[in-house]
Structure 1
Amino acid sequence: MKINEIKELLNVIDKTNLEFVKIESSDLKLEVSKSSNRIVNNDLRNSKYDLSENANYEEVVSDICEEAIEATIEDNINIHVVSAPLMGTFYSSPNPDEGNFVKVGDIVKAGDTLCILEAMKLMNEINSNVSGEVIEILVENEELVEYGQPMFKIKAL
């Protein structure tokens, strides 16, 4: 496999949600890993592609892309994004001495408080619009958020 083909393959993998790809042939062993809080699908983790001298590299890249698209679609089914309804400062807890309203892995009900956004000295509670599991918190405590900025990803149950 030529270096340009490897670079192209790495660029394709980098643009996907794949966390781990392992490619082996008699003359090449390539493992690519990205760190994240997501759980990796074991089928994707153990995927192997034919990279023998007679292999069609365009077909291999196409197969990886197709698998990545399928995984992305499957991962995004029932994922709801809670976006900032106004610009303000994000607070993950009611006050500095208390714990966060939610953390990754928590199960929330529609109407549960996720955070507070402070705007013009007014504290605005932001509530979940769906019942489900918090799978990602996209902002840090005391971070300024813009109107429409995604703050949470919740997988509906």
Structure 2
Amino acid sequence: MLKVQEIREIIKLIDQSSIDEFSYEANGTKVSMKKQQEQVVTEAVQPQQAVQAQPKPQVQEPAQSKEVEQEPAVEEAPKADTSSSDYDAEIKSPMVGTFYVSPSPDQDAYVKLGDDVKEDSVVCIVEAMKLFNEIEAEVSGEVVEILVKDGELVEYGQPLFRVKSK
């Protein structure tokens, strides 16, 4: 069975290529992607006996992407007083969606400036098509900069946090 990250990578590759249609089937799992009016539409079909929650279809709209790229997200986000050499790694968005700092509006943020994170620490949620995806740090260290505001749209690969190794 394909992992969510592998499906995201396939979506990115199809979006950047001249391929109009892509299908993959293995072990009862089928993934089909088609470009329609400069969008990538993904459908994942799972066998009946599968119990795990699977990602819903994702649509990536290039027109929307251009608007977000033009917005300087770094200027509006809360920052620590750091220079660009004060961090060792960035935690990037694995998908297009809406960034949330906490699991719900009435709960505390997953991480704040100065917090220590481990590779498996959940740092935020990115919501895509009503599917809330917990994003893990994948690096260890101290959060020295938060680059995105709560509720802001993010792009695939967009830096969300900067982390300094300890």
TM-score (norm 2): 0.50
Of the candidates 112, 116, 124, which is equivalent to residue 103 of structure 1? 112
Letter in 2 for 1:95: S
The structure 1 segments of at least 4 consecutive aligned residues displaced by more than 4 Å after TM superposition are none
Quote how far apart the aligned CAs of 1:109 are: 1.1
Contact 2:80/2:113, CA 8 A, preserved across alignment: no
The residue number in structure 2 matching 1:156 is 165
Larger radius of gyration: 1
Quote how far apart the aligned CAs of 1:39 are: 5.1
Quote how far apart the aligned CAs of 1:82 are: 0.9
Contact 2:82/2:144, CA 8 A, preserved across alignment: no
In the alignment, the residues of structure 1 paired with residue 99 and residue 105 of structure 2 have an alpha-carbon distance, to the nearest angstrom, of 13
Of the candidates 78, 83, 94, which is equivalent to residue 85 of structure 1? 94
The residue number in structure 1 matching 2:152 is 143
In the alignment, the residues of structure 2 paired with residue 120 and residue 85 of structure 1 have an alpha-carbon distance, to the nearest angstrom, of 14
Of the candidates 70, 73, 81, which is equivalent to residue 38 of structure 1? 81
Of the candidates 117, 129, 136, which is equivalent to residue 120 of structure 1? 129
In the alignment, the residues of structure 2 paired with residue 151 and residue 128 of structure 1 have an alpha-carbon distance, to the nearest angstrom, of 10
Mark the runs of 5 or more structure 1 residues left unpaired by the alignment. 1-35, 41-71
In the alignment, the residues of structure 2 paired with residue 95 and residue 86 of structure 1 have an alpha-carbon distance, to the nearest angstrom, of 20
TM-score (norm 1): 0.53
Letter in 2 for 1:93: S
Mark the runs of 5 or more structure 2 residues left unpaired by the alignment. 1-78
